[in-house]
Structure 1
Amino acid sequence: MTSVCATGQHDHHDVYAQQCPCRGLLELIANKWTALAVGALAAGPQRFGALQRQLEGVSPKVLTQTLRRLEDANLISRTVYPAVPLHVEYELTEVGWSLTVPLKALRQWVEEHVDEARV
């Protein structure tokens, strides 16, 4: 579906246009914790604690913020199971699954080229 960019200057979305809503999505998916969380969820639904253990170095606050933003963007879903204590699982949505391929390629590129880059 083609829509008019928020700038009103294009009949399509243009990530290079400052006011295009694409920018917000690009900012979200270019975040390191997003890339790592999506990669971790590609293994299947996971609880918060499991994600936090897998994403070494992420604080509970940052992981919570990342998961909320991903849920708001419809990239993941959050399911609460009525149990004591509450059981909450996160999993990729259909559109979230479509993001796994480019993010996996990016993670692989980083691992292959980290020694050549000056970081």
Structure 2
Amino acid sequence: MMLCVAAGAFALSLATDRFTLDWTHSVARTGWWERWQITDAGLTPVEARITGAGAGMEPPPDARLQDGVWHYAPQVPPQRQVVLAASGATGAGWQLCAHGTCHALPEDQGPLRLWSAERCEG
């Protein structure tokens, strides 16, 4: 299965069944990190960490605080596609990592779309 990422003229395809995303929240300036699994049902977030709360992005009630970071398992069903907004206000955009290699995703090409497929097209 391939992880497909596209925005404007930007396209990235990775042969992987898992990946991480991290970014800085544009208002609260808190660090966010998520681990995702790719299954036949779609993209599923399986673990998340945040360094703080605010601006409507609070950790869920079951989150546990460990060494100043909130850890939790997102309760979100598999998604056929995930759309990431990029405000350009954080000084750094989204970072996607898979198999030990990280990719800075562009902030200036419009929303980023992620999905899984046998081949990345469209």
Give the TM-score category using the shorter length.
under 0.3
Normalised by the length of structure 1, the TM-score is 0.23
Normalised by the length of structure 2, the TM-score is 0.22
The structure with more radius of gyration: 1
